[in-house]
């Protein structure tokens, strides 16, 4: 049935309307029984249902229902698989219906600006395009079951340190391209029911009361129609926030801020229509869920199997010197490390799932072969336990192959605080190093939510990055280690050699009051690749048990308008002996020189499954945004006229094929001519070029460029033609007074003539 929400709002008292704009408790919205408005529940996600019952809290101190923990975003992003994320979303939506949860709080798309952010395990990528694509698929999946999502944390929340008060100081272009970019496409294409605003300030103003962010950009520009909720406790000034576009405060404030809203309407400082609009937005989402209520199924065993499948698709094989897949026949294999028995598969904080079942690698390997096991280390503190250490080294020495399960304990990364370094516990690094001295066949399996330094990487034969891959992590690890599944994940973030290589190193996490985003758009691989800096493993990198060849790249046109769509196709062949999946990445390199840009940016990708020796043609599209950068002067996205390279790559540093396309812009950046406009700016503009060319040669002459000096003379050596040309190009118009003897009236006349030409 179709509800007349506006009519319902008219029936509500002022107090009832104000009450709808804050939570009843930690997880429920208020209802109005006399008007048929039910109380509905929201619950933490995004990689599992953390539904709490009584004595609810935000950070997971109290017990939640038994649920299924799917792989976290740091892992699923490495799948580069939109369909897989949608399938996971659908299953989460089913679970929410079964448990009567109207909105699941996620996905989280904040950019991985620094490896140190304590919540990176919940975030997808350092790349806004990849993050947005993964988020859009997740949202579509959940909402196909008539359950809402809450994309978060909007915006520029890229650290835990002082996250509730610190101001992210960020320029407009960087904000648009990187930090809003991760949200924009997901919101426009997948239309999440809700958006969760972040705790932090943005350029001095709290996100929760930022009208430009919550109304002008989110609603007016992007067309968002749902409601905006606060992160838990993010409200600073409630009435100002409501005016800015913050509809729902979570959790409740015991009625205090409801009274503030009522008073603001009564004393005329806020129009009641602002409140009415917020209530309408909330009720539209509430009734959509209630009117499409289903029984839902929560088959934990089946969902556990799906978690294992997703984990196997997401793990990344970083190194393999012929040691993998393992052959159990006639081999003595040792599993070493506490994480083999008690895996770390999720992060700490509000997303922590009370998993109904956990499959460790030791559990899963029983179906394949017998292994010896040694704990090797403890995780309570970073201290070598000599007894455990010696047992592990001896077990490795006596085996044919040692598989070491290592990584970051819970205490090393969590919501609420950031890491201070990129190192694993020293006791684990020492253990790996000592084992490599007695055993040459070593594989390391990593459990971590963010990159770690790997001082032992050159001394082991295999590295499998498992990230935090959910409750079925052990099953996926064993399937990959023994070849039942073929690794097909690729890194959604760069792994640098050391922390100080990271572009935000000098600025993260700021002084506690502000944090400056001085690296601008050069985040992650955009920085490393542009700077030509060596990294441990580049963005988009990942190995397989087979090999792939790219060929026959085609583009639909050699020249397009910026309003056109470019179609790109190429052939991919599995040149090995086992079936596998390849992730083909499409990057765009701007060759126009119109703006300072990274050497390449990811703009599309496709994952293709191929049998041995099978070849398929894959197709992708590029639109205007694939070529554009955000021009603050236009306050719009701008693709300059000129040449762009289209790069088909296996990683950001492994370009296989390339084509060049010319893009013709339908926009023009206005040229405002004034005394300090340079000659080169005027020469580059076709409209003013002819005017300034008349003066250029004369200006060069006056600057000494045509001096008649014999070769080798002091005059000729002091003022070369090249020097004169560059001095002329870089000279502002006011230089005409000094070098050409123009008076003020003549200069003003020239500027007027140039202004008229520029505006034609």
| Best CA proximity match to 183, nearest among 212, 156, 144, 208 | 156
Q: Is 215 helix (H, G, I), strand (E, B) or coil?
A: helix
Q: How far apart are the first and last CA of the chain?
A: 57
User: Rounded to an integer, what distance in angstroms lies between the CA atom of residue 79 and that of residue 100?
Assistant: 30
Sheet of 514-516: strand order equals 205-206, 201-202, 167-169, 514-516
- Strands 654-664, 642-651: pairing kind: antiparallel
Within 13 A of 631's CA, how many CA atoms are on the CB side?
16
| Best CA proximity match to 224, nearest among 182, 194, 181 | 194
Two tokens, residue 38: 């039910």
Cβ count within 10 A of residue 252: 18
Cβ count within 10 A of residue 668: 13
Name residues whose C-beta falls within 8 Å of residue 729's C-beta, 6 or more positions apart in sequence: 678, 679, 680, 683
Helices (H), 200-299: 211, 238-244, 256-266, 272-290
User: Rounded to an integer, what distance in angstroms lies between the CA atom of residue 445 and that of residue 714?
Assistant: 68
Q: Catalytic residue at 590?
A: no
User: Rounded to an integer, what distance in angstroms lies between the CA atom of residue 340 and that of residue 474?
Assistant: 8
CB 423 within 8 A of CB 453: yes
Name residues whose C-beta falls within 8 Å of residue 537's C-beta, 6 or more positions apart in sequence: 318, 491, 494, 495
State the catalytic residue, choosing from 127, 231, 479, 501: 231
User: Rounded to an integer, what distance in angstroms lies between the CA atom of residue 648 and that of residue 670?
Assistant: 34
| Best CA proximity match to 322, nearest among 405, 441, 437, 476 | 441
Name residues whose C-beta falls within 8 Å of residue 658's C-beta, 6 or more positions apart in sequence: 553, 645, 646, 647, 648
Q: Which residues are catalytic?
A: 231
């Amino acid at each position: 049935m179709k509800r007349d929400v506006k009519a319902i709002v008219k029936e509500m008292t002022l107090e009832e309307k104000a009450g709808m704009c804050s939570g009843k408790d930690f997880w429920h919205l208020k209802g109005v029984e006399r008007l048929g408005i039910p109380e509905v529940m929201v619950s933490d996600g995004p990689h599992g249902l953390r539904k709490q019952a009584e004595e609810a809290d935000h950070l997971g101190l109290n017990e939640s229902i038994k649920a299924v923990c799917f792989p976290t975003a740091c892992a699923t992003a490495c799948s580069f698989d939109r369909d897989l994320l949608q399938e996971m979303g659908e299953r989460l939506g089913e679970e929410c219906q079964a448990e009567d949860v109207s909105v699941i709080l996620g996905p989280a798309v904040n950019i991985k600006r620094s490896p140190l952010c304590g919540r990176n395990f919940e975030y997808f990528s350092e790349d806004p395009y990849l993050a947005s694509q993964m988020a859009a698929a997740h949202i579509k999946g959940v909402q196909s079951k008539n359950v809402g999502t809450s994309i978060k944390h909007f915006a520029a929340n890229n650290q835990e340190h002082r996250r509730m008060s610190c101001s992210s100081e960020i320029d407009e272009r960087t904000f648009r391209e990187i930090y809003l970019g991760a949200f924009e496409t997901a919101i426009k294409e997948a239309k999440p029911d809700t958006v969760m605003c972040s705790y932090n300030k943005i350029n001095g103003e709290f996100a929760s009361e930022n009208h430009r962010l919550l109304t002008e950009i989110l609603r007016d520009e992007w067309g968002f129609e749902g409601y905006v909720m606060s992160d838990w406790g993010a409200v600073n000034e409630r009435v100002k926030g409501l005016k800015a576009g913050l509809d729902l405060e979570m959790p409740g404030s015991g009625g205090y801020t409801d009274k503030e809203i009522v008073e603001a309407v009564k004393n005329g400082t806020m129009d009641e229509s602002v409140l009415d609009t917020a209530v309408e937005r909330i009720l539209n989402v509430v009734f959509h869920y209630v009117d499409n209520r289903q029984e839902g199924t929560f088959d934990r065993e089946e969902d556990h199997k799906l978690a294992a499948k997703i984990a196997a698709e997401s793990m990344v094989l970083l190194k393999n010197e012929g040691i993998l897949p393992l052959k159990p026949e006639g081999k003595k294999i040792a599993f070493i490390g506490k994480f083999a028995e008690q895996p770390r598969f999720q992060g700490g904080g509000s997303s922590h799932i009370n998993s109904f079942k956990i499959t460790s690698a030791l559990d899963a390997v029983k179906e394949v072969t017998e292994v010896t096991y040694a704990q090797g280390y403890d995780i309570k503190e970073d201290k070598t336990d000599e007894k455990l250490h010696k047992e592990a080294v001896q077990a490795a020495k006596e085996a044919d192959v040692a598989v070491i399960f290592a990584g970051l304990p819970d205490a090393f990364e969590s919501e609420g605080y950031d890491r201070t370094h990129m190192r694993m516990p020293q006791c684990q690094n020492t253990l790996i190093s000592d084992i490599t001295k007695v055993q040459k066949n070593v594989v390391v399996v990593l459990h971590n939510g963010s990159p770690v330094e790997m001082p032992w990487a050159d001394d082991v034969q295999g590295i499998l990055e498992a990230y935090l891959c959910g409750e079925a992590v052990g099953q996926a690890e064993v399937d990959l280690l023994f070849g039942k599944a073929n690794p097909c994940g690729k890194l959604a973030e760069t792994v640098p050699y050391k922390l100080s290589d990271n572009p935000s190193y000098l600025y993260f996490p700021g002084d506690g009051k502000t944090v400056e985003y001085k690296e601008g758009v050069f985040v992650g691989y955009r920085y490393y690749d542009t700077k030509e800096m060596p990294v441990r493993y580049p963005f988009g990198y990942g190995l397989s048990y087979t090999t792939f060849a790219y060929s026959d790249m085609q583009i639909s046109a050699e020249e397009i308008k910026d309003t056109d769509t470019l179609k790109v196709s190429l052939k991919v062949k599995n040149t090995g002996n086992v079936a596998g999946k390849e992730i083909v990445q499409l990057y765009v390199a701007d060759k126009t020189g119109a703006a300072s840009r990274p050497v390449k940016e990811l703009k599309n990708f496709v994952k293709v499954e191929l049998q041995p020796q099978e070849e398929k043609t894959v197709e992708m599209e590029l639109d205007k945004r694939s070529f554009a950068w955000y021009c603050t002067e236009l306050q719009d996205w701008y693709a300059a006229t000129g040449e762009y390279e289209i790069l088909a790559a296996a990683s950001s540093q492994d370009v296989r094929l390339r084509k060049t396309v010319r893009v013709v812009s339908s926009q023009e950046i206005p040229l405002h001519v004034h005394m300090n406009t340079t000659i080169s700016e005027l020469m580059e503009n076709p409209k003013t070029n002819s005017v300034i060319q008349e003066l250029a040669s004369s200006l060069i002459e006056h600057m000494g460029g045509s001096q008649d000096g014999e070769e080798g003379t002091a005059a000729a050596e002091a003022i070369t033609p090249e020097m004169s040309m560059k001095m002329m190009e870089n000279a502002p118009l006011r230089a005409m007074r000094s070098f050409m003897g123009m008076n003020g009236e003549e200069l003003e006349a020239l500027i007027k003539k140039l202004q008229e030409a520029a505006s034609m």
